[in-house]
Amino acid sequence: VAPRSRARSRARRTADTRALFESRNLDAWVATASADGVAHLVPLSLAWDGARLILATEPDAVTTRNLAETGRARLGVGTTRDVVMVDARLESTVPAEQAPAAVLDAYLTQAVWDPRDQDIPFVVSILAPERVQAWREADEITGRTLMRDGAWLG
């Protein structure tokens, strides 16, 4: 008898991923690179406004500088054995106090801290996801792509 696969369907993984993106105290491992190929990685609070990912960083942080230089990030959300990987394109970076209200509301609700209320005011970066993949174990490598070219595959 063949072992029963526990691999989740794409619909199930998409629902799980959206629920994760909406959760409070959400964190991401945010990888960026400088234009000359030095990788950076740091855990950051993450928010989701239903379509875009939102990060808040210090204006002179390596992540802020890399986003400005290359306009791209790759994020890992969840755990190493229940992972969501996101390739995203930078839409804009603005001082936190100038961020659109809906973006700031999403951040305040999910991250539960205020990026405006820091010694050095933070900047807010809005990222458009282009590809989203989710898998747990080896049996979920097939079917891991949930979003391609910015569109959920459904």
Dist. CA 77–CA 16, nearest whole Å: 12
Q: What type of residue is 89?
A: R
Q: Which residues pair with 88 in a beta bridge?
A: 73, 129
Complex with a second copy: residue 22 or 27, whichever CB lies closer: 27
Residue 16 CB, nearest approach to a second copy (Å): 17
H-assigned helices in the chain: 10-21, 62-70, 101-111
Chain residues that interact with a second copy, rule: CB under 8 A: 27-29, 31-43, 66, 69-70, 72-76, 79-81, 83, 85
Complex with a second copy: residue 20 or 83, whichever CB lies closer: 83
Q: What type of residue is 9?
A: S
Residue 133 CB, nearest approach to a second copy (Å): 10
Complex with a second copy: residue 69 or 100, whichever CB lies closer: 69
